Amino acid sequence: MANAPSRDPHPVARTLQVSLSGHKGPVNVARYSKGTAKYILTGGQDRTVRLWNASLGTEIKIFSAHGYEVLTVAVAHDNAKFVSAGGDRSVFIWDVATATTLRRLSGHMGKVHAVEFNEDASTVASGSYDATVRLWDLRSQNRQPIQVLEEARDTVQTIHVGASTIVTGSVDGYVRAYDLRMGELRSDFIGHPVTSVVPTQDNQTYLVTSLDSHIRLMDMGTGKLLNDFVGHVNEAYRCRACFGHAEAIVICGDEKGMVWAWDLMDAKILPPDPPPKVHHKVITWTEHHPTDAGEMITASADGTVKIWKHEVAG
């Protein structure tokens, strides 16, 4: 029966397709291109951003302008440009076709840990070690941020930009949801340093990863805890949990190099428990392909990025 199709309605991609090993040193972030395309952007300690063909496992381009480690990357809706940031304290806007920087936005007083575009890539939000979030209007020639959010009391590690909301997570233990239209702020106290926040597509709930080896599903409107996912080890490094296909499962790589998965509804660990060790060091980033039900990527401090698929035999 080893070749029988999986009866799990939401299988985890656990078959290694290809390993990308161009970076020298830890890889801090790996992002899929938007839509159905199979391209990946990775950023690392070696100060480069690299563009890969995920299907072939080949490196297409190297983007070199950073003077310090790259900690964060985000891709525009049309895949024509991306934004990156890190130890430089500046936000770099890149043109993918020419591999050149279109703009550099300066103003943060510390490392930039998180960047995200809004829906049409007219605005970028950046979160920093300086405990601020800065919003930049890319249509304006003015190099100053259009807004600075200063409510955090420690490093801002993660940002999500919605249609009219910005959600941030900070080392101070809070998730903050800013309603920009209403001018309102709601703060949810998680109680431990927050490393990632990923809302569901309907923006009704969000997944928050924190340095107490817990991943929590929270109600966006009330801040109520809906579910708690445990088993993995995440106490010292920024790890990112994400939803699997159709938001039916939760996936996270941990500090031991294992990729864990849970059922969203009952928080049960999906087999195998414990999962196999697939990276030699901490898994810094886990991201599911936006349209392909059976593919995801993991990035690690071991210098590799791995592309995983779920292969249905039969």
| Any domain includes 151 | yes
Residues 6+ apart with CB under 8 A from 108: 89, 90, 91, 126, 128, 129, 130, 132, 134
Q: How does DSSP classify residue 258?
A: B
The answer on pLDDT for 1 being more than 50 is no
| Any domain includes 82 | yes
Total count of domains within the chain:
1
The CATH number of the domain holding residue 202 is: 2.130.10.10
User: Tokens 């830890």 correspond to what residue?
Assistant: 26
Give the CA radius of gyration of the chain. 18
Residue type, 227: N
The answer on pLDDT for 114 being more than 70 is yes
Q: How does DSSP classify residue 277?
A: B
Report residue 25 as tokens: 């040193």
pLDDT per residue as tens digits for the range 219-231: 999 999 999 999 9
pLDDT, residue 5, reads 41
The answer on pLDDT for 25 being more than 90 is yes
The answer on pLDDT for 178 being more than 90 is yes
The answer on pLDDT for 148 being more than 60 is yes
Supply the range of the domain harboring residue 305.
15-309
Report residue 106 as tokens: 């300066």
| Any domain includes 103 | yes
User: pLDDT > 70: what percent of the chain?
Assistant: 96
pLDDT, residue 10, reads 72
| Any domain includes 10 | no
Nearest to 290 by CA among 79, 134, 61, 1: 79
The answer on pLDDT for 99 being more than 70 is yes
Model confidence at 313, pLDDT cuts 50, 70, 90, reads low
User: pLDDT > 90: what percent of the chain?
Assistant: 92
Report residue 126 as tokens: 């950046």
| Any domain includes 8 | no
Name the pTM for this structure: 0.95
Kindly report whether the peptide bond that precedes residue 290 is cis, defined as omega within 30 degrees of 0: no
pLDDT per residue as tens digits for the range 45-82: 999 999 999 999 999 999 999 999 999 999 999 999 99
| Any domain includes 314 | no
